[in-house]
Amino acid sequence: MSSLTGEIVSQGIVIGQARVYRDFLHEDFKDEPVSSNPEEEQKRLERAIEKLDHRLDETYQNVKLSLGEEEAEIFRSHQQILEDPGFVGEIKKGIEAGTRAEKAVQQVTRLLSEQFKNLDDEYLQQRAADMEDIGRQLIEFLMNNENQGESSDYILCGTDIPPSEFASSMNSGILGMVMEEGTGFSHTSILAKAKGLPSLVKVEGLLENVRDGDRIILDALDGHVVVNPDENTLKKIQEIRSDWENKKQKALEKANEPCITADQKTISIFANAGSVQDVRAALENGAEGVGLFRTEFIFLNRKEAPSEEEQYQIYSEVLKMMKDKPVIIRTLDIGGDKDVPYMNLPDEENPFLGLRGIRYCLENQEIFKAQLRALLRSAHHGNLYIMIPMISMAEEVREVKAFLNDVMNELTQEDEIFEEPRYKLGIMVEVPSVVETIDHFVQEVDFFSIGSNDLVQYLFAADRIAPNVKRWYDVQQIALYRMIEKVVAAARDAGKEIGVCGELANNQQIAQLLVSLGVEKLSMSPAQIPMIKSVIRKLHAGDLFKKWKQHSSRHSTIDGLWD
């Protein structure tokens, strides 16, 4: 029996057999030339491409239905790689030169992946992982080794499991996931959180200690993996697991009840969503509103921008589903990090600091106008909040308000019976300049929502998904919470609503700290809502705030705050 430690991505406790992910990209294929006709190898490649394209389409549809369009979008981008004539063309050249198809795919994938990794553009560096994922799957089909379904009760283990492997496992008997590397912000981790499967990353020594078929305990409450546990350990963990499952069930049963802390502070628990399916899941898990509806997924994977009418139908449906509950719809948040040909997005060295979000919209007013018209028309169907992303200065807000007013006047003139809708206007707090001039913004907007993912990224100058700077993307740093505390105090003093819609709200301990700092609304993955509500109901926010003040004056991180 051995025990390993890791970083928790999604909580829970499961016991099952290990299934170690096999990385075909690093198989030792022989270099012998093809003895048969190269044309037959080309046909094998084409059949594998066709099968993989079909699998990616199925995976996209399955993930979209079960988790939502936001989580599914990565598989559309994978299809774009598969359709890239440069990628496939280089593989075919290798086959023509007498290389087996498997080896040709491996060579080209490794070469192109390495080229991406060596680029200065961090977004393009991330494309290397997508390229490798496609290469692995192509080899898998060439070897006729694709998974046709798995036995139940297994825990997926690997160095850094690609999202396609996790997604294809979701329809089988997967209980949880453990990675030796990876981060809590990777595509795979996001899928695991959305699915609510217990998961750990950064488990050092995992593949040295775990083999296919080993019985393992995945304790994603305490952050441990126990390999081949003895009977005494199994008995103890089964008791802990039983207690956890009871807590989850009780939390779900009370999910629709109000969330009031032990010291009588009422907190609104909202859901993040990117599709109508996500909104259904939000209601099933007791969401009191939608804290972030991401509209960019309406614009992706298509040849032209969605029409005003198409957007109006989607926004109206979401508002009707939520009835009188608040629905915060974020305007288009897109930039050069996304592949959207019809938008003519600029080719930038660092798209995260480029023409994205509101910057792009104000430069492309026809697209922005269509979205605002759709939003204003849909406002009559529910409780609409319009949120503007990537704001960095108060002048941008005033420009947006003037543009909104023009759009409203245009709609009124077109339709004599169109009444001015009631809605609230707010911004995402994700750029540090907003925090430092928050007193300017409280005069301009109705509400604030802290986008913690990007706020951390910009605060510490560290890309949240770049593995080479992951130590600097640190949500434990006191600096982050001092910024949040400053925004919350300013919003509260001005009588403005304030919430958090980033990944921080999914963490049970950090959610408690946010509430103690005065955050009124937390928005998270629908699956996390019942347990977060349960935890916050037991919180003495005033007591934790006192501990925070003492702790933050002496320490640089929040480690130890709950001791």
Which amino acids are annotated catalytic? 187, 501
- The terminus-to-terminus CA distance of the chain in angstroms comes to 29
- Helix or strand (DSSP H, E) at 554: none
Strand partners, 217: 15, 226
CB-CB contact of 326 with 270 (8 Å):
yes
Distances (CA, A) of 45 to 49, 50, 94, 107, 147: 6, 9, 12, 14, 18
The span from the CA of 70 to the CA of 49, in Å, is 25
Return d(Cα 75, Cα 280) in angstroms, integer: 22
Phi/psi for 18 (5° steps) reads -80, 135
- Indicate the Cα dihedral angle 459, 461, 464, 465, nearest 10°: 180
Cα(348)–Cα(359) distance, integer angstroms: 14
Q: Are 420 and 407 in contact (CB under 8 A)?
A: no
SS3 sequence of 272-298: EECCHHHHHHHHHCCCCCEEEEECHHH
Cβ(426)–Cβ(387) under 8 Å? yes
Dihedral (Cα; 477, 482, 488, 490), 10-degree rounding: -150
**Residues 501/503/506/508 CA torsion (nearest 10 deg):** -110
